Amino acid sequence: MNKKGLALFLRARVRPPPPLPPNQGRYPDSLPSQSRPLPNSNMDPSLSNQHRANNISPSVMLKDVKDWMHASMSILAHKIEPVDTNLENFLQGYLGLAQEDRRELILVLARDYDVNRTRVRDLMQQYLSLEPPHALNDGQSSGPEEEGILSAFYRTERNLRDAIKPMYALFFERLNAYPGGLKLLVVLRADLLAILAKENIPSLRALDSFLKEKLITWLSPASLGLHHITWDDSASLLEKIVAYEAVHPIKNLLDLKRRLGVGRRCFGYMHPAIYGEPLIFIEVALLKDVAVSIQDVLWDEPPTPECEASCALFYSITSTQPGLAGINLGKFLIKRVIELIRREMPHITTFATLSPIPGFMQWLLSKLASQLKLGKIETEDASTLSHIGSGSVFQENILLPEEEKMIVNSSVGYAVGNSGLEIMKNLLASTNNEWTKSDCLLKALKSPLVRLCARYLLKERKRGKALDPVANFHLQNGAMIERINWMADQSEKGLRQSAGLMVNYVYRSDHIEEYAELFINEGHIHASPELQQYVNDN
Cα 58 from Cα 65, distance rounded (Å): 12
Average pLDDT over residues 71-91: 75
Residue 132: what pLDDT? 80
412 in the same domain as 516: yes
Most confident of 41-55, 81-95, 419-433: 419-433
Q: Is 225 helix (H, G, I), strand (E, B) or coil?
A: strand
- The reported pLDDT for the residue numbered 22 is 38
Q: 404 pLDDT band (50/70/90 cuts)?
A: very high
pLDDT for the residue 246: 85
What is the identity of the amino acid at 10? L
Q: Are residues 486 and 346 in the same domain?
A: no
Q: Which helix (H) or strand (E) holds 462?
A: strand 461-462
Angular region, 499: left φ>0, alpha ψ -120 to 50, beta rest: left
DSSP H or E run through 504:
strand 502-507
Residue 175 main-chain phi, psi, to 5 deg? -60, -40
The span from the CA of 455 to the CA of 306, in Å, is 36
382 pLDDT more than 60: no
Mean pLDDT on 53-67: 70
283 in any annotated domain: yes
* CB 204, CB 192: distance < 8 Å: yes
* C-beta of residue 225 within 8 angstroms of C-beta of residue 272: yes
Structural domain ending residue among the three candidates 353, 369, 400:
353
In a domain, residue 330? The reply is yes
Is pLDDT of 6 > 70? no
How far apart CA 415 and CA 444 sit, in angstroms, is 13
pLDDT digits (tens, 9 = 90+) for 269-283: 999 999 889 999 999
Q: Do residues 284 and 264 touch, judged by C-beta distance below 8 A?
A: yes
Residue 183 has pLDDT above 50, yes or no: yes
How far apart (Å, rounded) are the C-alpha atoms in residues 206 and 308? 52
Choice among 49-63, 211-225, 376-390 with the minimum mean pLDDT:
376-390
Together in a domain, 192 and 226: no
Task: Please check whether residues 431 and 307 belong to one and the same domain.
Answer: no
Q: Hey, how many other C-beta atoms are within 10 angstroms of the C-beta on 395?
A: 10
pLDDT digits (tens, 9 = 90+) for 429-469: 998 999 999 999 999 999 999 999 999 999 999 988 999 99
Q: What confidence tier does 300 reach under pLDDT thresholds 50, 70, 90?
A: confident
Based on the fold, state whether residues 182 and 281 are members of the same structural domain: no
CA–CA gap between residue 179 and residue 224 (Å, rounded)? 17
Domain shared by 211 and 229, yes or no: no
When divided into structural domains, the chain yields a total of: 3
Higher pLDDT, 478 or 10: 478
Is position 35 within any domain? Answer: no
Q: How far is Cα 293 from Cα 248, in angstroms, rounded to an integer?
A: 13
CB 172 within 8 A of CB 214: yes
Secondary structure of residue 270 in the 3-state scheme: strand
CA 349 remoteness from chain centre: 27
Mean pLDDT (whole number) for 252-268:
94
Whether 127 maps to a domain, the answer reads no
Domain annotation covers residue 336: yes
Residues 321, 386, single domain; the answer is: no
In 3D, which of 312, 315, 381 has the Cα closest to residue 351?
312
CA 345 to chain centre: 29
Residue 64 sits in a domain whose CATH number is 1.20.140.90
Q: Are 350 and 311 in contact (CB under 8 A)?
A: yes
- Vertex 450, ends 439 and 517: CA angle to 5°? 155
> Where is the domain boundary, 331, 353, 375?
353
Q: Are 28 and 325 in contact (CB under 8 A)?
A: yes
The pLDDT of 79-99, averaged and rounded, is: 82
What does the pLDDT read at residue 30?
A: 41
CATH assignment at residue 333: 3.40.630.150
One-letter-per-residue 3-state SS of 239-271: HHHHHHCCCCCCCCHHHHHHHCCCCEEEEEEEE
Q: What is the pLDDT of residue 12?
A: 55
Q: Residue 340: its pLDDT value, please? A: 97
Question: Are 183 and 227 found together in one domain?
Answer: no
pLDDT at 495 over 50: yes
**Which of 279, 318, 313 is CA-nearest to residue 294?**
313
Asked if residue 136 is part of any domain, the answer here is no
Average pLDDT over residues 299-320: 93
Q: How many CA atoms lie within 13 A of 285 on its CB side?
A: 27
Work out whether the CA dihedral 242, 246, 251, 254 comes out positive or negative. negative
Parent domain of 339: 222-353
- The Cα–Cα gap between 18 and 423 comes to 38
190 and 258 inside one domain: no
Residue 39 has pLDDT above 50, yes or no: no
Q: Which of 46-60, 160-174, 230-244, 420-434 has the lowest mean pLDDT?
A: 46-60
CA 151 to chain centroid, in Å, comes to 47
- Same domain as 388, residue 526: yes
Contact status, residue 420 vs residue 390, Cβ threshold 8 Å: no
Domain assignment present for 158? no
Confidence of residue 80 (pLDDT cuts 50, 70, 90): low
Same domain for 344 and 368, yes or no, is no
Q: What pLDDT score does 147 carry?
A: 77
| Positions marked active-site | 355, 474
Residue after which a domain boundary falls, among 303, 328, 353: 353
158: which residues sit within 8 A by CB, 6+ positions away?
A: none
* Residue 21 in domain: no
DSSP state of 246: -
Whether 240 and 318 share a structural domain:
yes
Q: How far apart are CA 65 and CA 86, in angstroms?
A: 9
